[in-house]
């Protein structure tokens, strides 16, 4: 196990990602000034998704890990998505 290579991410990458996250945070606040109606939630969720992706990929090192770990994480999100869809089988079709 000790022979496994550990990828070292340069500070610069972390810094760039941090900046991007901060910018996205301000953008997601700024966008609430525009009247988007029903799309407001979608907008907020979109920025949250992009940020989550960045955190998982760089801060949580998924980019440099073995593929099976990425598959497992993907599987988790797939289950999450399915659970949401099923819940809406109730809400969407409720009389």
Partner 1 sequence: MQTTNANEEVNYLEYKGKYSGIWGWIFSTDHKRIGLLYLYSIAIMFVVGAFLGLAMKLELIAPGKTIMNAATYNATFTVHGVIMIFMIVIPGLPAVFGNFLMPIMIGAKDVAFPKLNLLSWWLYVAGVLLILTALLFGPGVPDTGWTFYAPYSFKTGTNLLPAIFGAFVLGFSSILTGLNFLVTIHRLRAPGMKWLKLPLFVWTLYGTAWIQLLATPVVGITLVLVSLERVFGIGVFDPVLGGDPVLYQHLFWIYSHPAVYIMILPAMGAISEIIPTFAQKGIFGYKALIISTMAIAFVGYLVWGHHMYTAGMSGTAQYYFSLLTFFVAIPSAIKVFNWISTMYKGSIKLDTPFYWAASFIFVFMIGGLTGLVLGALATNIYVHDTAFVVAHFHFIVFGGVGFSFFGAIHYWYPKIFGKMYDKYWANVGWIVFFIGFMTLYTPMFYLGMQGMPRRYYDYLEEFHGGNILSTFGSWIMITGLVIIITNLIRSARKGEKAGINPWGGKTLEWRVPSPPPLENWDEIPVIGEEESKYF
Binding residue count for partner 1, defined by CB under 8 A: 14
Q: Are 21 and 55 in contact (CB under 8 A)?
A: yes
Q: Considering only the stretches 11-19, 23-31, 39-47, 86-94, report the one whose residues sit in contact with partner 1 under the rule CB under 8 A.
A: 86-94
Nearer residue to partner 1 within complex by CB, 34 or 89: 89
Distance (Å, whole) CA 11 – CA 30: 29
Distance (Å, whole) CA 56 – CA 41: 22
**Residues near partner 1, by CB under 8 A:** 1, 76, 79, 82-83, 86-87, 89-95
């Amino acid at each position: 196990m000790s022979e496994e290579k550990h990828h070292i991410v340069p500070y610069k990458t972390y810094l760039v990602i941090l900046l991007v996250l901060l910018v996205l945070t301000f953008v997601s606040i700024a966008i609430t000034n525009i009247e988007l109606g029903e799309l407001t939630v979608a907008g907020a969720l979109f920025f949250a998704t992009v940020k989550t992706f960045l955190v998982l990929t760089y801060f949580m090192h998924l980019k440099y890990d073995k593929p099976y770990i990425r598959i497992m994480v993907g599987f988790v999100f797939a289950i999450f998505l399915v659970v949401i869809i099923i819940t809406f089988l109730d809400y969407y079709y409720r009389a």
